[in-house]
Structure 1
Amino acid sequence: MINFKIRYTLLLFAACISLQACKKAWQDHTAITIEALNKTLIQQINETPDLSTFSTYLVKTGYDKVLASSKSYTVWAPTNTAMQTIDAAILADTAKLRLFVANHISYQEYFTTAPNPSLVIRTLSGKNIIFTPATFEEAKIVKGNVYVKNGVLHTIDQASGTKQNAYEFMMSTGLSTKQRGFIQSLFHTEIDTSKGVKLYTDPITKKTIYQAGTTFPVTKNTYFQRVSDISSEDSLLTYIILSDVAYDAEKAKIGRYYNLSTSATKTDTLTQFAVVKDLVVNHVYTIDNLPDTLTTVSGVKIHLDRSAIIQTQKLSNGIAYVVSSIGYQILQNKIPVIYIQGELPDSVRVPSTLSIRTKKDLNDVKYTDMQSRSITSSPDPLYYYRYKTTVNSAQYKVYWRAVNDIFTTSFNQKVDFSATRYYPKAVETPLATMGYKAVAVSDYSEVYLGLYTPANYGTLYTFLVSATGVVSTAPSALSLDYIKLVPVN
C-alpha cells in the first residue's frame, strides 16, 4: 500500500513537470520583461545594439525627447537589418521621416497579451496599424513586452511605412482620374458658426447675423458630408475605385434616371454623384473574405467580381479595390422603391380632425396610418394630404394601401402628382392623376393605381385628394397607410 502511494506521487509530480514544460514556450513569448523598469524607452532603445539605426532617427526627428518623457508609450522598433530596406526618399525628407518614425509609436501601453485576436491602434503619425500577439502590420515581433518605466518596447523584423487612407490612395493612383476629379470638384467653402456670437436675425433675409471675428471659413467636401469621409482615420471601410472606362460605363448606364431637361450640366453632376455614392462599404473585406454581395453606406447592394479587380491596396482606414466593373440591380436597388408614409404629410388641407393611428391588420401586423373622416364634400381647391419626396426620371408603378374602417360602404379618393407645392387648378399646372378609386371596406391589401413617369429627377409633391360632390354624394373621407412607387423602366 505504501509503495503504491509513493509510485502515484512520483507519477503525479512527473506529470506536473511535463505540463509546466509545455506551458513555458507560450509563457516565454507573452511574458512581460520587467528588468528595465528603471529606464525610459529611449534609454532602453539606446542600450539595445540591434536598434541603433532606429535610435539615430529618433534623435534626428526629435522623438527621442518624446520617449524620454513621463507619458506612457508603446514602441515597435525595427531592427538594424529591417531599417536597411527603407526608401531613401523617406530618409532624405524630414517630414516623411517624422511620419515614418511616428508610425512606430503609439500612446498608452500595449502588450502582446492585449490583442484578441487583433487591435487597431492609432499611432503618433495619425495612422492606424494592426497589432496582433505576434505581428505589427506585416512585421513579426522578434522580442516583445520589454516593460520600462514609461511604456513598452517591442522589436520587429520589418519597418512599417505610413499607409495612405482611401482618399489619399485615390488621389495618388493614375487608374481613376475621373472619379478622383469629380470628388475633388466637390470641395467648397462654408462659414463655421459653431462658435459664432449671434447678434440678431435679419427680418428680411431671415439670416442670422454674427459678431465679426467669431465665424470663419472652412473647407468642406459634399461627398465627405453626404456619403462618407473617406479621408477619416476614425472608421474602417472598403472603398471601390472605378477605372476611367468603368466610370464612363456607369454614367451611361444610369444617366437617364437623373435627367433634368433644363440643364445638361446639372444632369451630369447628379449622374456622377449617383455613381460615386454607392462605392463605400462600412466594413473591411479582404479579397479572401469578399462576400458575393456588399451593402454600401447608401443601402445599395453591389457585387464585385474578383476577375474585375485591377488592384488591391491596404489602407490606414481599411482596404481599396480598383475595379474595371461593378454589378448591381438598377431598378428597385440603385433606383429604389419609394414609400410615402400616410402619417408623415408635408402639409394638409382638411375640414375635420386628423387621426394618426397605430393598429393591426388581419395578419396581426402593426401599421400606422392617417385618417380624416366625415368630409361632406370637397370644395375647389380640394381637401388633401400633401407629401414631398424625391423621384428619379423613371417609370413607376403606383400602389396605395388605404384602410376603410370608417364607413360600412366604400368612399372615393385619388392620388395626384405635381412639381409644385400648391394644389393647382388644371389651367395653371396640369397634374398627373391616378384618378378616383374606391376604398373598399376593411381592405388591407395593396391596390394598384396605375403608371406614372416623372419628366425630371427631383422633388415631387404627391396629393391624396378627397372626393367632390360630383364624384360621390355620400360622406367622404381620407385614409392612407402608404403610397408605393416601384420603378419598372
Structure 2
Amino acid sequence: MIRFKNYMLTALSLIVITVGCNEWDEHNKPSHEALNETLFQAIKKTPELSQFSEYLVATGYDQVLASSRSFTVWAPDNQALATVSADITGDAEKLKLFIGNHISYQEYFTESANPSVRIKMINGKNLTWYGNRLESAGVVSANEYVRNGVLHVINEPVIPRQNSWELLLASSAGPKQLAYLQSLTYQDFVDSLATQTGVDPNTGKPIYEPGTGIVTRNRFLEEAIDISNEDSLHTFIILDDNTFNTEFTRLKPYFTTKTGNQDSTARLASWHLAKDLVVRGVFTPDALPDTLVSKFGVKVPMDKSAILETHLTSNGIVYVMKAMNFRLKDKFPPIIVQGELPDGFSRTDKNVNIHYRYRDWASGGADLRVWNHGIAQFNVRYKIDRLYSMSYKVYWRTVNDFVDTTYTNATANPPYAHLDAFQQKLVIDLKSIYVSGAPAPQKDFNYVKVNALKANPANNRLKYLGDYKLDNYRSLYLFVVAGTATSPNTLNPIEIDYIKLVPIF
C-alpha cells in the first residue's frame, strides 16, 4: 500500500513537471506565423520601424535580411531615426555604414549578455550589448524570434564611431605627430592579390597586370600597435605640436647618428616618442590613473589637467594632450646583457669548454662559464643593437663559485699569488673581433679579480667597472676577456652572470 502511494506521488510529480515545462516552452516558443517570416518581413510590417525598413531597402540590407543566414537586428524606431543628421541619411556610403551598425551575424538574445558581450556588427565595427541596451541605446522591445534571427527595437540610433586611426587622419589636433606617422606608410606588393596576365618565357616567373596587388601598409601599425584594428581595444594619445616638439627635442640628443645625417636622427627620435603613445586597454577619464604603461614597458605619465580633448572611438579612446613629461629614466632604462646569451666566441674549437649553467642565484636562471680552455685572452662576444648616444655606468655580476685554490708563480719577477680568484676584463668595441692592442678598442676596463664567493658574500654583488660614453647611436660589441695565462685552469676561466649599462643623465 505504501509502495503504491509512493508510486502515485511520483507519477503526479512527473505530470506536474511535464505540464509546467510544456507551458514554459509554449510561452517562449515563437508563433508559427513568426517562423515563416524573415527579419525584413518582420521589420516591414511593424509601423514604428517603417523608416528603418526604408533605409534597409535603400542600402540593400533588405536582401541580406531576407537570406537564410542568421542575424540579430537592433532596429531604431521612427522617433529615434528622426534625430539622425542629413549628413548621414543623405550620403549613400555613410547610410550603409550606419544601418550596418545595427545588424550582426548570429543570434543574440537579452540573456546573451552576462553582463555584457562585445559583438562585431555587419559593418565591421564592434559594439557592446548589455541585454537591456546596445551601447547607450535602450531596448523598447526584445527577443522577437523569426525564421532567420532575432529582432530588438531600440530607442536611439547607434552612430558608427571612427576607429582611432581614422580619427587621427581626420583630426587637426596633432599635425606634426600625424605627419610623422603618415611618413611610415609604404606600398607593398602581394602576389596573391595581383592579377596574373601571363608567364615570362625566359624566367618562368608570372607576369602581373600593372597596378594590381598593391597594398598600403604602415610601419607604426605593424610594429607598435594597430590602432586601425576594429578588434583591438586601446588608449591612444595625440600630442599637440608644442608638446610633440618639446618631447622630440629632449630625445633627439640620444639618437645622434653620423655627422650630417639629421634625417636619420629625427626619424629615430620621433619613433622613440610615438611608439609609447599607445597603451593596450581602454582607460576612460573616470578610471584614468596617473601613469599608464606602453606595450614596450615605458611608463606614460597622464596628467588629467593636460587633456585638451577626449574622443571615444570604435576601438578605444583617444586623448589630445598639451603636456607629456616622460621621464628620461623611463624612456631609457638600464640595458641588461645576459651572460648565457653570447653572440659568439674568439675560438670555435672550444665548445666542450663552454658551460651554460643553471643557477638559482643567476639573473635569468643561468650563467656562462668557460673552463679549461688553455687559450690566452680567450673571449666571449656580446652584441648590443641600437645603443643610444649617451654616457653609461658599466657594471657586471660575476660569481666565482668554482675557483677556491691558491696558485703561486714563484718564477715570476716579482713572484705573485692568486688566492681564491681569477682575472678577466670587459672590453667595448665597434669591431666584432677583439685582438689585444690592434687597434685599441673603444674602452678597455682592464683586468679585475673575480674573488671566490665563499671568501666573502659581497663577491656575489654587482661590481662597478667604470663609465663609457658613446657618441653615436649604433650597435657595438662587448667582450669578456680571459687572463693572459694558458695554465693552470684556475688562472684564466671566464664567468659572467650579466653585464649592465645604466644611462647617465
TM (normalized to structure 1)? 0.85
| Paired positions, count | 443
Matched residues in 1 for 2:263 and 2:151: separation?
57
Which position in structure 2 is the counterpart of 1:59? 57
Give 2:162's match in structure 1, choosing from 140, 152, 164: 164
Once the two structures are superposed, what CA deviation does each residue of 1:192-236 show, in whole Å capped at 9, x if it has no partner? 47899xxxxxxxxxxxx9933589543321111111111111211
Amino acid at match of 2:269: T
Matched residues in 2 for 1:401 and 1:193: separation?
51
Which position in structure 2 is the counterpart of 1:420? 431
CA 1:122–1:265 in structure 2 vs 1: closer, same or farther (change >3 Å)?
Answer: same
Amino acid at match of 1:467: G
Matched residues in 1 for 2:28 and 2:54: separation?
26
CA 1:420–1:190 in structure 2 vs 1: closer, same or farther (change >3 Å)?
Answer: farther
Structure 1: runs of 5 or more not aligned: 1-26, 197-208
Amino acid at match of 1:356: Y
Matched residues in 2 for 1:33 and 1:181: separation?
58
Choose 387-396 or 282-291, whichever is displaced more: 387-396
What is the correspondence of 1:231-380 to structure 2 with a 5 Å cutoff?
Answer: 231-262=228-259, 263-331=261-329, 333-350=330-347, 352=350, 353-361=353-361, 367-378=365-376
CA contact (8 A) 1:401 1:446 kept: yes
What is the correspondence of 1:23-422 to structure 2 with a 5 Å cutoff?
Answer: 34-35=30-31, 36-192=34-190, 211-213=205-207, 216-262=213-259, 263-331=261-329, 333-350=330-347, 352=350, 353-361=353-361, 367-378=365-376, 383-408=379-404, 409-422=420-433
**Please, what is the CA RMSD of the aligned residues?**
2.6
What is the correspondence of 1:425-436 to structure 2 with a 5 Å cutoff?
Answer: 426-428=437-439, 430-436=441-447
Once the two structures are superposed, what CA deviation does each residue of 1:50-104 show, in whole Å capped at 9, x if it has no partner? 1100100100111001001110101111111111111212222211111111111
Which position in structure 1 is the counterpart of 2:4? none
Q: 1 or 2, which has the higher helix percentage?
A: 2
Once the two structures are superposed, what CA deviation does each residue of 1:399-448 show, in whole Å capped at 9, x if it has no partner? 11112123212111111112222325645463212222111112321111
Give 2:451's match in structure 1, choosing from 440, 445, 456: 440
CA 1:261–1:33 in structure 2 vs 1: closer, same or farther (change >3 Å)?
Answer: farther
Amino acid at match of 2:76: P
- 1:456 Cα offset (Å): 1.5
CA contact (8 A) 2:372 2:489 kept: no
CA 1:336–1:33 in structure 2 vs 1: closer, same or farther (change >3 Å)?
Answer: farther
What is the correspondence of 1:450-465 to structure 2 with a 5 Å cutoff?
Answer: 450-465=466-481
Matched residues in 1 for 2:294 and 2:204: separation?
39
Matched residues in 2 for 1:244 and 1:236: separation?
26
Matched residues in 1 for 2:29 and 2:174: separation?
49
Identity rate, percent: 39
- 1:453 Cα offset (Å): 1.6
Matched residues in 2 for 1:384 and 1:70: separation?
67
- The SS at the match of 1:34 is coil
Matched residues in 1 for 2:52 and 2:321: separation?
38
- The SS at the match of 2:452 is coil
Structure 2: runs of 5 or more not aligned: 1-23, 195-202, 405-419, 454-458
CA 1:411–1:190 in structure 2 vs 1: closer, same or farther (change >3 Å)?
Answer: farther
Which runs of at least 4 in structure 1 moved beyond 4 Å after TM superposition? 193-196, 213-217, 424-427, 470-474
CA 1:296–1:150 in structure 2 vs 1: closer, same or farther (change >3 Å)?
Answer: same
Which position in structure 1 is the counterpart of 2:13? none
CA contact (8 A) 2:381 2:477 kept: no
CA contact (8 A) 1:374 1:475 kept: no
- 1:394 Cα offset (Å): 2.1
